[in-house]
A and B are shown apart, each in its own frame.
Chain A
Amino acid sequence: MTHLKPINRKAQRVVAEVGSGVSRTIGDADKDVVALQQLPAPPHFPLGCSLAFSPGWEADSTGGTAGLCQPVERDIFDCHLGCFWPAHVPDQLNHAPDWTGTCATAQKDWRKLDLVFPG
């Protein structure tokens, strides 16, 4: 990845730490991949995007989308029930206890989900 330059004078380089733990395979078609001891420079995550990488909301731990839930709607009620993305997905415990009320299976009924404006 090319060296990121500041976009304007106010910008500073993001040095977002990679979230703990998800192993990343760095290698090629060879199946016998060995995890490297040293991690390369961390990827870029846009400001405000979640850095909780299990598996990630906007981006996975590599900064891409391959590791995100497939599709997002499949796992979304799991996220909601666990209040896992408090700034991104309505939390069942506090702000949106009935978010799933009209929607049994998110993968099918996702059009019935509401955009929630807390407070």
Chain B
Amino acid sequence: MIARGRVLAVVFSLSVPALIVARAQAPVPPPASAQPQRPQTQNQGVSDDGIPVTDPIVVRACGSCHTRDDKQRMTRISDRRATPENWELTIRRMISLNHVQLTPEVARAVIKSLSDSHGLAPEEARGIQFEAERRLIDFTYEGDKDTNTLCSRCHSIGRVLSERRTKDEWTRLLAMHRYYYPGIDGASGGFRRGGPPGTGGGAAGRGRAGDQAAARGGTGDQSGRGGEQEQPMDKARDVLSRAFPLTSKEWTAWSAAMRTPKLAGRWALAGYQIGRGPVFGQLTIADRQGVADGFTTESKMTYSRTGETVSHKSRAIVYTGFQWRGRSADAPDDPGTWREVEFIERNGQQITGRWFTGAYDETGIDITLRRVATDPVVSGTDVSALKTSTSNQRVRIYGANFPASVQPADVDFGQGVRVSRIVSTAPDMVTVDVDVAATARPGPRDLSFGGSTISPSVVVYTKIDNIKVVPVAGLARVGGVTFPNRPEQFEARGVSYGADGKPNTADDLDLGPVTVRWNLEEYTATFRDDDIQFVGEIAQSGLFTPNVEGPNPKRSGNRNNIGDVWVVATYNSTGADASAKPLKARAHLLVTVPLYMDWDSREVGK
């Protein structure tokens, strides 16, 4: 893994500690373009709905350019609400492109303050947690497909949906894009179209470069006429202004109710890491002295498949009363290789989210924390599926505060599943043997034990009808010489077609991970496709490791080691008769180029 310290072309890095604050240098005079000018546009103030900014740190850091009115509303800032990550992006841009000088400490304080006073309510954030969690899912903003496509040309739509702005503010956001990236009007971004839609073959293939076609921004009709239909950027602005306005009743309510959550204490941890299976453990949260809304954690967890135990420490800050942002702190100088993004439920009893690491945050554990008091709490089981007509299937139940003495009848999986024997007990784990009747009805089951119920826990099934590979559309990036790579972990899961016996119907059951043999096959997107020789290798653990970056002289055209391939899983069920054909499934894997810029959040959580 390439150390990132190798870099950089950074401008005014926030990450360099103690950089600026006490320096006796005279402030660099801003260039002419940043001199305060009498604004020449309308709406130079804030909207009536603008949210006041009362924190003196923010006022001091931002007030020389963002003036404040007599109602304590600051231009631009008061008309916007956003997630901590988006506030960080803004502040970094102020520093790198607007000649603002802030120490890292002040910058972090500003991020915290604005995330609290101008943030998203829990209901507004829930649907887009994947963005902060750096989770690669399939997501479309269904509200308007054109807006989804336009904004997704360069970055995840999640970044856009993490914003709430007045219409003027959405307009100014688009203007900012066009100021810094002039090509965005044309082929690079499609903000504006050169002519009426649907004309001709388009010029997207030649939309840039020193080639003269780029000079004309050539998309669409060559007459260059744009006025007949709404420009894509204007449509997007209208859609976003209506769907994501500054004022919402959710925010009004939450900003009144918001407070430092009460989290100190014990928590039962249940997690899942693709390719490694379930993980269970105990986690303690403590208040962090001297840091507002700050917490530390210590945890110990076990991967149930292998028995491997991992200890983990972290430091975190809670933004907006519910947004947990943590970084690992296993040693005093730990740069925080693991990050934690979690959502704290309002009842203070459950926290869910993702812990992740890797140059592209590709390795992650889905985490659920349940508060532990004195009563038993069930976290989950190691086994994910129970087959009918079997006996003595061993199941480990994880949790906390389990009683020392347990009877089979205390553990309830529902109809047709009987605990035949308690094998062992411990405060955080009970091992049982289970018989499943032939008549047990297939489907997900709730598990109740000690007054705690987890729903669902295991799935009862009759047979594995098929397998599937997840993710079905994988992504890897070459790297390893100068730039880090992005591996992709695949997993095969059993599938039962359910009572109707038909695939891809509503009663299909996911049976959890199964062990398979992995191999790659060429995905013939073109004739003479030879990607499979170059893109990388898949281990029998399901981990695909891509090849290195850079032109490969051994490849025709000196191409990179990129391409797309099938990832194929073959499953031979144990105990199946030898003549039974193995089950197979496959996924598509795109092995592509690195990113040369890393916009990822660096300050949130610090």
Contacts and interface: CB of A to CB of B under 8 A. Distances in A.
Nearest to B91: A119
A52 to B, nearest CB: 5
A12 B140 contact: yes
A78 B156 contact: no
A68 B188 CA distance: 15
A46 B9 contact: no
Contacts of A40: none
A39 interface: no
A115 B8 contact: yes
Contact of A64 (B4, B9, B14, B525): B525
Given A48-B136, A70-B558, A21 B208 contact: no
B205 A21 contact: yes
Interface in A8-56: 8, 10-17, 19-23, 29, 44, 46-55
A65 B590 contact: yes
Given A13-B140, A23-B201, A50 B153 contact: yes
Contacts of B127: 10
B139 A12 contact: yes
B557 interface: yes
A115 B139 contact: no
Given A66-B525, A83-B181, A84-B183, A115 B205 contact: no
B188 A83 contact: yes
B473 to A, nearest CB: 5
Of A10, A21, A87, most buried by chain B (CB within 10 Å of CB) is A21
Given A11-B139, A12-B142, A71-B551, A88 B525 contact: no
Nearest to A15: B140
A88 to B, nearest CB: 5
B551 A118 contact: no
Interface residues of B, number: 96
Nearest to B481: A111
B576 interface: no
A36 to B, nearest CB: 13
Nearest to A57: B593
B95 A86 contact: no
Contacts of A71: 550-552, 557-560
Nearest to B130: A10
A97 to B, nearest CB: 9
A93 B177 CA distance: 13
Given A64-B564, A87-B597, A98 B9 contact: yes
B26 interface: no
Interface in B533-569: 549-552, 557-560, 562-564
A14 B138 contact: yes
A64 B475 CA distance: 11
B263 interface: no
Nearest to B508: A5
Given A65-B531, A86-B181, A116-B7, A110 B550 contact: yes
A94 B564 contact: no
B599 A87 contact: yes
A16 B473 CA distance: 14
Given A21-B203, A95-B11, A95-B96, A115 B592 contact: no
A99 B560 CA distance: 21
A5 B593 CA distance: 26
Interface in A85-119: 85-91, 93-96, 98-99, 107, 110-111, 113-119
Contact of A46 (B10, B136, B153, B529): B136
Contacts of A113: 482, 596
A68 B478 CA distance: 14
Given A17-B145, A21-B201, A114-B7, A86 B473 contact: no
Contacts of A89: 596-597
Nearest to A44: B473
B190 interface: yes
A68 B432 CA distance: 55
B149 A51 contact: yes
A64 to B, nearest CB: 4
Given A86-B181, A89-B596, A117-B598, A47 B136 contact: yes
A85 B14 CA distance: 24
B182 interface: yes
Contact of B137 (A10, A29, A55): A10
B219 A115 contact: no
B145 A114 contact: no
B97 to A, nearest CB: 6
Nearest to B585: A2
Contacts of A22: 202, 204-205
14 contacts: A10-B130, A13-B140, A21-B204, A51-B149, A52-B204, A54-B206, A65-B592, A68-B592, A70-B557, A73-B551, A73-B560, A82-B188, A95-B96, A115-B7
Given A10-B130, A47-B138, A87-B155, 16 more contacts: A14-B140, A17-B149, A20-B190, A21-B202, A21-B203, A44-B473, A52-B189, A64-B523, A70-B559, A71-B559, A90-B597, A110-B551, A113-B482, A113-B596, A116-B597, A119-B91
Ordered nearest first, which 3 A-B pairs have the shortest CB separation? A21-B202, A119-B92, A21-B204
